[in-house]
Structure 1
Amino acid sequence: MTTPGTVAVRIGPNDVLRFVLELFALFSLGFWGYLAWPFPWPGVLFMVGAPLFAAVVWALFRSPKAVFPLDVVGRSLVEIFVMGAAVAVWFMIGYPVVGVIFGVVAAISGVIAGRAEIAAELTAQEAEPR
């Protein structure tokens, strides 16, 4: 039940999948930092810094409550860069099958979400009084 003045948020299966994909992308970047760089300092810095950088970029430009809201193309580019970096990480550390599977699932999920975002924006534009 919603109170007056609030909007009900609907979370679908693709939203849950996208959240899991985002977490896996952050894990992938941290795992790459752990494996690809010698310890202690370069490894620790990249293990913490790479996922932190990706999370900050996502929060600033891609999240639903982004500090710097972008249009559909900008949001898509940010998502492609973050998810693409995670795919590249799996290829770099020698697990191309994981990279391909992650990339395909992320691309399909991104297309589904992108189409829904575009449809929602068009609906909102049509509903605005002129």
Structure 2
Amino acid sequence: MRVVVCVFGLLSLVYWGYLAWPFPFPGVLFMIGAPLFAAVVWYFFRSPRSPIETDIVGKTIVEVALVVAAGGAWLAIGHPVVGLVFVVVAALSGVVAFRRETA
């Protein structure tokens, strides 16, 4: 479930870059840059093998920021229901993952 939420979040940013910006430039830059930036931030601060040690609060802040960015992308392109459903599903998935990590 967690992998599906992360992949959908990255694809949401790709879709936002495609629809929200004029094509080809800066649309292509945002289609590649936004999800790449999100993936790099996730890798450095949230991934299980991250090179930078962060406590649970830092990991939570990074994850919330990425989820809000993907949900906000859906709001920006005019699909608030998809954004809201994504944020709720990601929050539930995050709570389950948090309970597993702290147990």
TM over 0.5: yes
- Name the TM-score class by shorter chain: over 0.9
Matches within 5 A, 1:4-19: 17-19=1-3
Residue by residue over 1:3-57, the C-alpha shift from the partner in whole angstroms, topping out at 9 and shown as x without a partner, is xxxxxxxxxxxxxx11110000000001100000001110000000000000000
Alignment match of 1:27 (pick from 2, 7, 11)? 11
Quick one: higher RCO (CA 8 Å, sep 6+), 1 or 2? 2
Alignment match of 1:104 (pick from 85, 88, 103)? 88
Give the secondary structure class of the aligned counterpart of 2:50. coil
Q: Percent identity?
A: 59
Distance 1:115 1:69 in 2: 19
- CA RMSD between the two structures: 0.7
List alignment gaps of at least 5 residues for structure 2: none
List alignment gaps of at least 5 residues for structure 1: 1-16, 120-130
Distance 1:42 1:86 in 2: 19
Distance 1:39 1:88 in 2: 21
Aligned length: 103
TM-score, normalised via structure 1 length: 0.77
Alignment match of 1:115 (pick from 81, 87, 99)? 99
Following superposition, which runs of at least 4 residues in structure 1 exceed 2 angstroms of deviation?
none
TM-score, normalised via structure 2 length: 0.97
